[in-house]
Amino acid sequence: MRDSPERPARRRGPARQALVLLVPGLLALLLTYALPLVWVVRMSLNESGEGGLIRQTVSLATFGEVLGSSHYGNVIRQTVELGVLVTFFTLVVSYPVALFLARTTSRWRGLLMALAIAPLLISSVARTFGWMAILGRQGVVNKTLDGLGLIDAPLHLANNLTGVVIASTEIYMPFAILAMISGFGRLDPALEHAAASLGAPRRTVFRRIVLPLTLPGVLTAGLLVFVLSLSGYVTPRLIGGGRVFVLATEIYDEAITSLDWPVAAVLSMLLLALFGVVIAVYLWAQRALEARFTGAQEARS
């Protein structure tokens, strides 16, 4: 009975310590994210004047100007298109690599893992310049194909959406591989061996066991790659050669080149809204997978 008054105090002690530890992170988040976001929201409600001047108002006129423009509509469409294409090809290429690294028991697994994520040690700018040398009209790809007699004229692999998708796929592959490997925790080799011992073909084992158990990792990797590709600036700017217009490049041009901060702020808000839609779709898909997995376990039991 004597110890009972001390228990609430003991419980409050760790809680207070945890709160104190959270304060630096919360302050950093407030200074680096919340306050700039408030500033962007406020700027989006202003109107653009001549010569880069800003009319301090509280109006949705700039939103109407951007949403009613066919140019910005094409920019938003191409941004989403780029994100979908890059995400699809990145997942398709990265999935076999991540699956192999997650299942292998080789002593070289650590080295192979290091090689898979080694591109992250190189700046994305340097890697993009490398892809410009590979995909250009006089690049490695065109020279090789021309030397083999497979083409009569250089392929147009740069200064267009195709080149941006190719380069972005390679640049985001390490992120996808890491996300998939961390999400393949439910994959149990014993289930595959049991299914194979019962006569199930490899395709059936993959379709009924491996793929469903690895889908959460695929979803996480897809979310990460899609968000990165939506906000990517360097690769669309360099590989696109000024012919691929996405939200990130338009925000930079409006803010730095045209000095039209209200329009840049509105485009930033639209990009943030796209992030919200993507995250909402991800959470819905994740809950659907969890419900399906839980229902399958209950049915078996």
182/98 Cα distance (integer angstroms): 9
Q: Which of 272, 259, 250, 235 is nearest to 73 (CA)?
A: 250
Residues in the chain with pLDDT values less than 70: 1-13, 295-301
Could you tell me if residue 218 is left (phi over 0), alpha (psi between -120 and 50 degrees) or otherwise beta?
alpha
Rounded to an integer, what distance in angstroms lies between the CA atom of residue 153 and that of residue 170?
A: 25
Contacts of 40 (CB under 8 A, 6+ apart): 265, 268, 269
Q: Is residue 230 part of a domain?
A: yes
Structural domain contains residue 11 = no
Q: Domain for residue 8, yes or no?
A: no
| Residue 20, domain member (yes or no) | no
Select from 142, 164, 155 the least CA-distant residue to 234.
164
**3-class DSSP state for residue 241?**
coil
- Spatial neighbors of 32 by CB under 8 A, at least 6 apart, are none
pLDDT, residue 140, reads 92
Q: Is there a domain that residue 14 lies in?
A: no
Does residue 19 lie within any of the structural domains? no
Q: How many domains does the chain have?
A: 1
135: which 2 tokens? 């995909």
Q: Cα separation of 139 and 28, whole Å?
A: 45
Look up residue 212 and give its amino acid: P
For residue 295, the model assigns a pLDDT of 65
Q: What is the mean pLDDT of the chain?
A: 89
Q: What is the CATH number of the domain that holds 106?
A: 1.10.3720.10
Is position 18 within any domain?
Answer: no
Domain extent, residue 269, equals 71-300
Beta bridge partners of 55: 47
pTM for the full model? 0.86
Q: Residue 25 has what pLDDT?
A: 87
Main-chain dihedrals φ then ψ at residue 54, nearest 5 degrees: -120, 125
Is residue 61 included in any domain, yes or no? Answer: no
